Amino acid sequence: MSPAPTGSSAERPSIGRRTVLGAAAAAASAPALLGLSTPASAAPSAAPRALPGGGDLGPNVIVFDPSTPGIQAKLDEVFRQQESAQFGTGRYALLFKPGTYSGLNAQLGFYTSIAGLGLSPDDTTINGDVTVDAGWFNGNATQNFWRSAENLALVPVNGTNRWAVAQAAPFRRMHVRGGLNLSPNGYGWASGGYIADSRIDGQVGPYSQQQWYTRDSSIGSWLNGVWNMVFSGVEGAPAQTFPNPPYTTLNTTPVSREKPFLYLSGSEYRVFLPEKRTDARGVTWGNGTPRGTSLPLSQFYVAKPGVSAATLNQALTQGLHLLLTPGIYHVDQPIQVNRAGTVVLGLGYATLIPDNGVTALKVADVDGVRLAGLLIDAGPVNSATLLEVGPQGANTDHSANPTTVQDVFVRIGGAGAGKATTSMVINSRHTIVDHTWIWRADHGTGVGWDTNRADYGFVVNGNDVLATGLFVEHFNKYDVQWYGQRGRTIFFQNEKAYDAPNQAAIQNGSVKGYAAYKVGDSVTTHEGWGLGSYCYYNVNPAIVQHHGFSAPNTAGVKFHNLLVVSLGGQGQYERVINETGSPTSGTSTVPSTVVSYP
C-alpha cells in the first residue's frame, strides 16, 4: 500500500480497499435572486409573484472566450482549490465559448465540470489538454470522482490526453484529435469510468483501469482490458472476447438519448435536447447540426444555492424548467416534477441535500422528463428514498418519449453522516438510466456499518427500464433489486460493503450475503451484459458471500459476461450467479467468470 498524502485529517483520503483493488489491477452562500419577494402591501392570500426565467449563471459558472485574459491562471486557481477537496463544498462549471484556444492545460479537480458552448464539440477547440491525474493521491486514481468533460475538441500537446478517473466522471460528447490515456502518470491504479457520444481519433489506453463502459462513440483503437470492458454502439470497438480479453461488445445500444447541454446561439444561452435513438451506433454530432430541439434559457428558472424547495416547486408549477447552478441546495420538501417534458439540469455537480428525511426529488408518471447533472447527498435524518421516478404502481407506456436520468449521482455518507433506506427507485416504464454512481461511502466522515446505513441502492419496479452504465456500491443489503419485466442492463460495476462486522450482519435468511444484483422471483424476462461484483470484507476477511448475482432460473432471464472478484482475499464468493460459477479463493484477485447464463 502507498501511504496517504499529507494534509489535514479531514481531507486525508482513506486508501484501504481501493489501494488493494488498484494494486490487483495494476498487476494484471450565493446572491439572492431578484423578484422573489412579495410586495409588503400584498394580502396574505395573494398569489406569489411569478418567478422570472433566465438570468445570470452565478459566480461559480466561469465563462471564457478566446480573448479572455488569464485563462490558464484562472483554471489553475480553481484546480488548486478543488484538487484534493474530495468532500468539500466548492462547485464549478468552466464554460468555453465557441472558438479556438491554445496553450491550455485544464486540470480538473473534484466537483469541476468543463464544457464547450457550441452545438458541436468541433465548434470549441482547445489546442491543449483537459487533464485528470492523481498527484494529490500519490499516483492512485481510484478516488478521482465527481468531475466531467463535455462538448469540446482537444488537440493534446503530446498527442494523447490523460483522463485518469474513477466513478461519477463522465466524458461526454468529446472529440480527441489524438489518443486518450485513462491511467494516471506512472500507470498507477485506476477505477472508472464512462465515455459516451465521443470520438477519439487515436488509441484509447485504459492500462490499469479495472472496468470501463463506452457507449455510442467512435474510437481509433482500444489497447487492453483488466477485468470488465464493455462497449455498445462503438465504432472501432474490439470484438467480443470475454473473458480473455474481457471485452463485452454490443454492435448497437438498444435505446439512447444524449444528455441535455447548455450552448450559445449567437449571444443567447439555450439548452439543447438531443432526440431519442434506437439501435444507436456512433456519435450524434458527426454530420452537421445534431438532431433534437432546443429551449431558450428564458424558459428555465436559473437557481442559485440558498433557494428554497418551495421556490423551485413554484417555478415548476409555473411551467419553467430548472437549471441548477453550481453549489449545494438544501431541500425541506421534495422537488416535484409533474409536467411532461420538464428538464432539470445541474451544472458543476449541483448538489441536493434532503433535510428532515424527505425525498429530494420526485417525478410524476409523465412523458419525457430529463434529469441530468445532479449529485444527491443523503442528510443525517434517514430518508425512505432519495430519488423516485414515477409513483408506486406507475404503468403508463412511455416508449415514444421516455424519462432519462443521466449523470445523476447519489452519495450516502463521506461528507458527513447520511442515511437513506433506498437511494433510487424507478417506477415509470421505459425509463433510461444512463450513467449513475449510487454510493454508500466507504471512506470520509460519517462512515460506519450503522452510521451511514443504507440498505438498498437501486430499485426498479417499472417495466421496460434500461440501464446503461450502472455503478452501485457498498449497500448494507441488496445493491440492485429489479422487479420490473423486460429490464436490461449494459455494464454494471459493484463492490459489496467493506465494513460488515461479521457473517451474521449480512446473512440473508439461509443465504450467505445479499446479492449485488437481484432479479425478482416473479420476473420472466430480463437481460444483462458485462456485469461485475467485487468483495473486500476488510473488517472481517472471513466473511463468505454466496454469490454476486441472483435471478430466476428461467429461459427469459439471460446474463452475458458476468464476473466476481475477491480483492486480495478479503472475503470470498462461493458462486457467480445462483449456483453457477467457480468460487473465488486465495489472495490472487483473479475473477471468476460466467460467459452465459442460464
Residue pLDDT, tens place only, 349-365: 999 999 999 999 999 99
Mean pLDDT value across residues 503-529: 98
Q: Say if residues 116 and 98 touch (Cβ distance below 8 Å).
A: yes
pLDDT of residue 289: 78
Distance CA 142, CA 363 (A): 33
pLDDT of residue 46: 66
With 70 as the cut, is the pLDDT of residue 448 above it? yes
Residue pLDDT, tens place only, 304-320: 999 999 999 999 999 99
Residue 447, φ and ψ in degrees, nearest 5 = -120, 130
Q: List residues with catalytic annotation.
A: 495
Q: Round to the nearest angstrom and report the end-to-end CA distance of the chain.
A: 39
User: Please, what is the average pLDDT of the chain?
Assistant: 93
Is this prediction's pTM over 0.85?
Answer: yes
pLDDT of residue 12: 32
pLDDT of residue 45: 54
Q: Band the pLDDT of 1: cuts 50, 70, 90.
A: very low
Distance CA 325, CA 211 (A): 31
Q: Band the pLDDT of 517: cuts 50, 70, 90.
A: very high
pLDDT of residue 20: 45
Residue pLDDT, tens place only, 364-414: 999 999 999 999 999 999 999 999 999 999 999 999 999 999 999 999 999
Mean pLDDT value across residues 37-63: 74
Distance CA 589, CA 593 (A): 12
Residue pLDDT, tens place only, 202-245: 999 999 999 999 999 999 999 999 999 999 999 999 999 999 99
Q: Band the pLDDT of 82: cuts 50, 70, 90.
A: very high
Q: Say if residues 124 and 145 touch (Cβ distance below 8 Å).
A: no
pLDDT of residue 340: 98
Q: Say if residues 365 and 341 touch (Cβ distance below 8 Å).
A: no
With 70 as the cut, is the pLDDT of residue 17 above it? no
Other C-beta atoms closer than 10 Å to the C-beta of 509 total 6
Query: Which residue from 259, 347, 355 is spatially nearest to 304, judged by alpha carbons?
Result: 347
With 80 as the cut, is the pLDDT of residue 13 above it? no
With 90 as the cut, is the pLDDT of residue 33 above it? no
Distance CA 161, CA 292 (A): 30
pLDDT of residue 311: 98
Residue pLDDT, tens place only, 128-170: 999 999 999 999 999 999 999 999 999 999 999 999 999 999 9
Q: What percent of the chain has pLDDT over 90?
A: 91
- Angstrom CA distances, 74 to 126, 300, 305, 372, 484, stand at 16, 28, 22, 26, 48
Radius of gyration in angstroms for the set of CA atoms belonging to the chain, rounded to a whole number:
23
Other C-beta atoms closer than 10 Å to the C-beta of 192 total 29
With 80 as the cut, is the pLDDT of residue 32 above it? no
With 80 as the cut, is the pLDDT of residue 14 above it? no
**The dihedral sign for the CA sequence 506, 507, 509, 511:** positive
With 80 as the cut, is the pLDDT of residue 6 above it? no
Distance CA 183, CA 188 (A): 7
pLDDT of residue 192: 86
